Structure 1
Amino acid sequence: MSTEVGSPVAGLTAALSDVPDPVFSQAMVGPGLAVKPSGGEGDAVAPVAGKVVTLHPHAFVVAADDGGAVLVHLGIDTVKLKGEGFTLHVAKGDVVEAGQKIITWNPTEIEAQGYSSICPVVALEAAAESLADLREDTQVLAGEHLFRLEA
């Protein structure tokens, strides 16, 4: 069984090792990719269809129907903003479709406040070998294929 994981934001894909945070760059929470978002206000969308099991203004986790869970983190250290600049469109426990709007934010504003806007997209509790068809160093639109998670 495999799950297609889409990009939560439009931008340029990058290896997790490019993320300026050791928890992500060393894949401590799981393997995945990162996306350097295009500037300006935009929406972060669900990378997979499933249930929103964790929801913060700066990050969310969607558990796919097949059991795999995907973490999206909007920027690095953005928890310090205490929700400022993030608008939530769903609630914890909601069932969402892949590509559904989850959070509106502005990566340009995040960077203006001194934070990195890079977005790690991580397959939680997955082995690195379970990721296939990774799209590194590629421009993607929100919702476009990032990688496939093999169960």
Structure 2
Amino acid sequence: MTTVTSPLAGRAIGLAAVPDPVFSGAMVGPGVAIDPVREPSQAVSPVDGVVVSLHPHAFVVVDGEGHAVLTHLGIDTVQLNGEGFELLVAKGDTVTRGQPVVRWNPAAVEQAGKSPVCPVVALDATADSLSDLREDGDVKAGDQLFAWQ
């Protein structure tokens, strides 16, 4: 079983509340989202594993069980062309849970007219393979969001 922890401090919300149909409809997979604290921060890895995909606004880490977890920093933030995001690791790097991956400022994303809400998604998972989903309340980086069988 893989425990997936929060990459950010903020408020946990259900994916259905994410203002993007791809995420709210769980088209890329089930999970939860974080409405982040509006201050400069570092998004950290939600699992131990290898960074298999890395963009300024999103990253995927695959753990030893082959579970791929997507952290997407904000909605439509690809349109910011990397502005305001700083990569702290490289694609192919091995990372540990809690290790900083991207530095960013959710308040600046919001000022640019984008939602700073961050989906944390279990790629290629089924909804019934996740348990203990945390879909409300305040979380700190490193708090458990869900367990993946």
Please report the TM-score for the alignment, with normalisation by the length of structure 2.
0.99
Q: How far apart, CA to CA, are the structure 1 residues paired with 2:45 and 2:10? A: 15
Structure 1 counterpart of 2:59: 60
Q: C-alpha distance in 1, partners of 2:135/2:123?
A: 19
Q: Where does the alignment leave 5 or more consecutive residues of structure 2 unmatched?
A: none
What letter matches 2:108 in structure 1? E
Deviation readout 1:54-101 (Å, 9 max, x if unpaired): 000000000011111000000000000100000100000000000100
Once superposed, what is the RMSD of the aligned Cα atoms? 0.5
Runs of 4+ in 1 over 3 A off after TM superposition: none
Between Structure 1 and Structure 2, how many residues are aligned?
149
* 1:95 counterpart residue number: 94
Percent identity between matched residues is: 59
Q: Secondary structure at the match of 2:109?
A: helix
Rounded to whole Å, the distance in 1 between the matches of 2:6 and 2:79 is 24
Question: Aligned partner of 2:70: which letter?
Answer: L
C-alpha separation in 2, matches of 1:62 and 1:107: 21
Determine the structure 2 residue equivalent to 1:71.
Answer: 70
Residue deviations 1:8-65, cap 9 Å, x none? Answer: 1100000000011110000000000000001110010000000000000000000011
Structure 2: distance between partners of 1:23 and 1:110: 19
Cα distance in 2, alignment partners of residues 79 and 127 from structure 1: 26
Instruction: Give matches, 1:2-17, under 5 Å.
Output: 2-17=1-16
1:136 Cα deviation after fit: 1.3
Aligned to 1:139: 138
Q: Which runs of 5+ in 1 are unaligned?
A: none
TM-score, length of structure 1 as denominator length: 0.98
